[in-house]
Structure 1
Amino acid sequence: MADIQGSYDDLFLAVPRLLGEFLDAGDAGGSVAVFVDGKPVVDVWGGFADADRTAPWQRDTITNVWSVTKTMTALCALILIDRGDLDPDAPVARYWPEFAAAGKEKVLVRHLLAHTAGLPDWDGPVEGLYDWSAATAALAARPPLWEPGTAAGYHSLTQGFLVGEVVRRVGGRSLGEFFAREVAGPLDADFHIGLSAEHDSRVARSVPPPSQDEDYAASAPGGDPSSAPAATAMRVRDGNGVAWRRAQIPAASGFGNARSVALVQSVIACGGTVGGVRLLSRAGCDLAGEEQFSGDDRRLGMPVRWGMGYGLFGGSVGWGGWGGSLVVTDPEGGMTVAYVTNQMREPADDNRGMELVMAAYDGLTGLRA
């Protein structure tokens, strides 16, 4: 039996038990946290931080959560909107004049957040992602693939640069710095976009799915690869590299653990205030769940509902990352569930995150009874 560390309310016993089952079934390591009304009712971890299974996963182990990072980037934009510094209905070019090139004058800020801007693919070398100025300049010069706002196509890597550059222009600092000063710092959350070398010893590198190696590349679960033949494929070895950790890639290069992810995103579940720290008004929180698009996503190849930077799941908001990490926040229930793992699985075969969410709901039912 896997050794699960941490603490949990007995009503939520099914959550750590599930994590143990994942580890017993062959997963390397991971952590799970459940916050209710801004306070942890589950904070557990187990397994190993390395593929060779020699380094135990510790309380402060962090790993790349891939696209779960998008929820952190969206939160930064929501903070600026809530302050009145950023208008979601304004053209992006109001804040980023160069962006108006190639027919993008009518792209709105909300289009960036909702994956409807028509710039879904990164088609340069992976190394280009590590140069912020070059990456954003390339996106600013590119024409949209469809009329902005009329269709959605998952901006898997590009969304972070698009939203991040707007945040930089409005907030006066890079997305990673804005997040650190305005979100992670005040909340004391161990989450980083642009990881400094001092944290490298705590990083659990991503472990490819069974039968795969570090050349394993990202693909949409139901997407048609032929629809984006020029898109650059991200490999596990890229994400495990030092250059990736140091870079600010706000759609995919966030490092944290389940505790930090749940702590930050519980802001949405708690009307904007957690632990006495106010980041948003209630109206600002509600904006996250305001539907921007509902229908088939051109890149994911499946029906999706997009809010303001978040995926919508019934009355909940959140998103998952390549390989399995996930965060789901339920404002009505006051609950946030986060699962962070270094063990990747094939998307079509991976239900771990949602199983943990459902187990957490069982505990919430008992807690509220």
Structure 2
Amino acid sequence: MVNGGTRIQYYEKDLDIRRVIEQADLQNLDQALNICDLSSLERKLRLWHKLMPRIEPHYAVKCNDDPVVVKFLADLGTGFDCASKNELKLVLGFGVSPERIIFAHPCRPASHLKYAKEQQVVNGTVDNEYEVYKLKKHYPGSNLIVRFKSEAKKALCPLGDKYGCDAESDAAALMLLAKALDLKVTGTSFHVGSGCSEVEAYDRAIERAESIFKVGEFVGHKMEMLDIGGGFPGIDDDMFEKIAQAVNTSLDLCFPDERVRIISEPGRFFVEAAYTLICKVHAKREVRGKDGKLDTMMYYLNDGIFGAFAAMFYYPEELTPVLYLDDAESLPKLKSVIWGPSCDALDKILGDLLLPNLNPGDLLGFHNMGAYTMPIASPFNGFDVPETRYFKAK
């Protein structure tokens, strides 16, 4: 099947990675390969609707802006969190209505605001007085969503140092300023941090949001939207269920009025588990000690830190390579280091591994590579970023 010019291959029951590798003939290709399972996105959306039916997911495009992924989610009916003019263009280009989009960047260039105005994308975040004045000048008809700071104690990427006003000292002042300028504040938002692993973080944030709603209504604004941001795990469904239970309980207590629209900005939740990256060993090197004995094996892959592994600069997580070798578990292991293909000494993927003795042409797989990978990847040193092939269950 061709979807927007891209071929989607179908499979029965489970996606067989080994079969995909065999059909791709990777031994004769220099480029790494992303295997994207679009059915994973469907499963994630079903899980979301099951555990948090009141909350409308708005996919965070920055997490993975692959047009095939964006269109697939658009066809499933999700909303979208866009941070720039180009992200707006991408989403609107697939027929998504402006009402399904939140322009969730508190500090937007004027030209981006003008484009949002032209396209009638009215909902957008703000967290400081300069941006309120900017909106008065460039998009006075927009709906202001006041973003406040409320971070998790455990998150892969905290955001509070950069965005979000102080809920107690700044939020009321911003809403008063908006009122004085005849602008509409219609809600509030927060983001606990990407990759949150603290359930209580959402409780604290929703309680603060309730207070901001009350202040906004007292000032005279019609408060009707709460954006609970992102931070939801992409591969730990048990943790997601715990977060969902906490969020639902807090919303029932603080926002029992069903007329309040609750949205969110999940990114890695949808796409992290959908991608498997297959890399090839293209070179190896033996490192020996002064006694001449073998100390370490070093392997060089056809993708690295400047490619699909770029997120390791920002989200340092432990990766476990999967070996596509017969009897890999029974083979003797050697101390090993895995490098990317570039000339840069920072291009180190993993160290202190125990791996069998690999050879050029051997393949290694890395699961859960869909979040904050390809949007950051670049062809540094002239090495191609991975190709992506798409699969879906029948």
TM-score (ref. length: structure 2): 0.25
Q: Which has the higher contact order (CA 8 A, sep 6+)?
A: 1
Q: Considering fraction of residues, name the structure with more strand.
A: 2
- Please say which structure displays the higher CA radius of gyration: 2
